[in-house]
């Protein structure tokens, strides 16, 4: 009888143990069922542009740059503008004074003109007395005309007054100032440059191998490299078939459609849109890079299926899928970093 009681107890303990084991397995399975919330989109055929990207600066074309100088030696009394300052036509730029050397030049010209005038009068008087020839008078007359022309030129170049206020000849921005107060500058020495801001260009550095893909009038997206920098559009004006010996890069000039708010010297990033073609593509957020490969999560039957893909064009918004997907397949575009192969998913509706 005691033996039967022990057997019944063992049997009861076995049933309890099996029940607990079953509960544990069920609990573990319940724990294993993890659901992720995601947003999805379909892989679809769309037109995408191959692009050539590069960095550059906003510049003023050479034919829109005005250089200022004076035709005589001068000393700089005051500079009235600073680099980057906007000026208008007739605005004062700087105050100059003729130097002693310049004053001596006009004095010599005046002396030579006076002497030539007197010499011509003397020879004419001698001719009247038959003491000079017509040839001598003709030579004196030529010398007098040359001296008078030299005096007129000196007065025109040096001006009537010792001091001169140099004024802007056009609206623009002060691009460079080459001198400072107290400097003595020679004739035709560069004083400053004014850039006409109405027709700015972007000079973009590009890889030499990309030159073959660039053509005149291709569309360009231009982004300012600063916080909150706006994006503008433009057209390729010219691809420069020359490599910079220092950077080992080629360059292209980009014409900006609306350059009113741009400042010369601003740094930009440019994306030149070259060939356009219809390709299978997905939103950029759907593609998860992993080393040298990439993968997406295809959503089917409420589960995520990890799939490796081969990518192509990347325009910053969409990525071409060369291999690994078919048009119409649904892929995760947000929440996909939390997914694992085979994980159940909850597809959330897009916000209206």
143-171 pLDDT tens trace: 999 989 988 888 877 777 888 999 999 99
> What percentage of the chain carries pLDDT values higher than 90?
50
Least-confidence region, from 21-25, 175-179, 336-340: 21-25
Query: Region 226-253: what's the mean pLDDT?
Result: 89
> Which tokens in the block code for residue 329?
């397949």
Backbone angles phi, psi at 60, to 5 degrees: -100, 130
Which helix (H) or strand (E) segment holds residue 325: the answer is none
Q: Give pLDDT, residue 3.
A: 41
Query: Region 9-29: what's the mean pLDDT?
Result: 48
> Which tokens in the block code for residue 165?
């206020």
Query: Region 252-281: what's the mean pLDDT?
Result: 86
Residue that the structure tokens 């069922």 belong to:
33
> Predicted confidence band at 33 (pLDDT cuts at 50, 70, 90)?
low
**Of 136, 137, 144, the residue nearest 116 (C-alpha):** 144
Contact 322, 310 (CB under 8 A): yes
Cα 278 to the chain's mean position, in Å? 29
> Predicted confidence band at 107 (pLDDT cuts at 50, 70, 90)?
confident
> In the chain, which residue ranges form alpha helices assigned H by DSSP?
2-32, 100-128, 134-158
Q: Give pLDDT, residue 16.
A: 46
User: Between these two residues, 346 and 228, which has the higher pLDDT value?
Assistant: 346
> Predicted confidence band at 24 (pLDDT cuts at 50, 70, 90)?
low
Residues 6+ away with beta carbon under 8 Å from 112: 147, 150, 151
The domains of the chain, with CATH numbers, are 35-48+278-347 (2.40.420.20), 52-62+196-276 (2.40.30.170), 63-195 (2.40.50.100)
Query: Region 4-32: what's the mean pLDDT?
Result: 48
Q: Give pLDDT, residue 6.
A: 43
Least-confidence region, from 8-22, 86-100, 231-245: 8-22
> Which tokens in the block code for residue 135?
């040839």
> Predicted confidence band at 26 (pLDDT cuts at 50, 70, 90)?
very low
**How, if at all, do strands 344-347 and 35-42 pair?**
parallel
**How, if at all, do strands 65-68 and 192-195 pair?**
antiparallel
> What percentage of the chain carries pLDDT values higher than 70?
88
- Reply yes or no on whether the pLDDT at 19 is more than 80: no
The mean pLDDT of the chain is 85
Residues 6+ away with beta carbon under 8 Å from 350: 39
> Which tokens in the block code for residue 33?
């069922």
Query: Region 27-56: what's the mean pLDDT?
Result: 79
Query: Region 242-256: what's the mean pLDDT?
Result: 92
- Reply yes or no on whether the pLDDT at 213 is more than 80: yes
Q: Give pLDDT, residue 208.
A: 93
Q: Give pLDDT, residue 155.
A: 81
> Predicted confidence band at 15 (pLDDT cuts at 50, 70, 90)?
low
- The reply to whether the predicted model has a pTM over 0.75 is no
- 350: helix, strand or coil: coil
- Reply yes or no on whether the pLDDT at 253 is more than 90: yes
């Amino acid at each position: 009888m005691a033996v039967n009681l022990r057997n019944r107890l063992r049997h009861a303990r076995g049933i309890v143990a099996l029940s607990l084991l079953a509960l544990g397995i069920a609990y573990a399975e319940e724990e294993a069922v993890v659901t992720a919330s995601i947003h999805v989109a379909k892989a679809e055929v769309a037109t995408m542009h191959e692009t050539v990207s590069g960095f550059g600066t906003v510049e003023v074309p050479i034919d829109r740059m005005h250089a200022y100088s004076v035709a005589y030696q001068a000393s700089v009394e005051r500079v009235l503008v600073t680099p980057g300052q906007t000026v208008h036509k007739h605005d004062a730029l700087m105050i100059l004074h003729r130097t002693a050397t310049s004053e001596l030049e006009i004095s010599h010209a005046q002396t030579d003109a006076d002497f030539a005038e007197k010499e011509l009068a003397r020879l004419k008087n001698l001719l009247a007395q038959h003491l000079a020839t017509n040839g001598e008078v003709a030579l004196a007359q030529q010398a007098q005309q040359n001296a008078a022309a030299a005096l007129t030129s000196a007065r025109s170049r040096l001006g009537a007054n010792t001091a001169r206020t140099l004024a802007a000849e056009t609206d623009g921005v002060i691009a460079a100032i080459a001198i400072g107060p107290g400097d003595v500058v020679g004739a035709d020495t560069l004083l400053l440059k004014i850039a006409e801001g109405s027709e700015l260009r972007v000079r973009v550095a590009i890889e030499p191998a990309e030159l073959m893909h660039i053509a005149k009038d291709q569309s360009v997206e231009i982004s300012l490299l600063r916080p909150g920098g706006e994006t503008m559009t433009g057209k390729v004006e010219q691809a420069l078939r020359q490599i910079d010996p220092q950077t080992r890069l080629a360059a292209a000039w980009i014409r900006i459609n609306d350059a009113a708010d741009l400042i010369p010297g601003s740094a930009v990033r440019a994306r030149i849109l070259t060939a356009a073609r219809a390709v299978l593509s997905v939103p950029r957020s759907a593609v998860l890079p992993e080393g040298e490969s990439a993968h997406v999560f295809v959503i089917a039957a409420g589960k995520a299926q990890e799939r490796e893909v081969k990518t192509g064009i990347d325009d910053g918004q969409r990525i071409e899928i060369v291999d690994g997907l078919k048009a119409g397949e649904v892929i995760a575009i947000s929440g996909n970093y939390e997914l694992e192969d085979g994980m159940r998913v909850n597809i959330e509706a897009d916000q209206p």
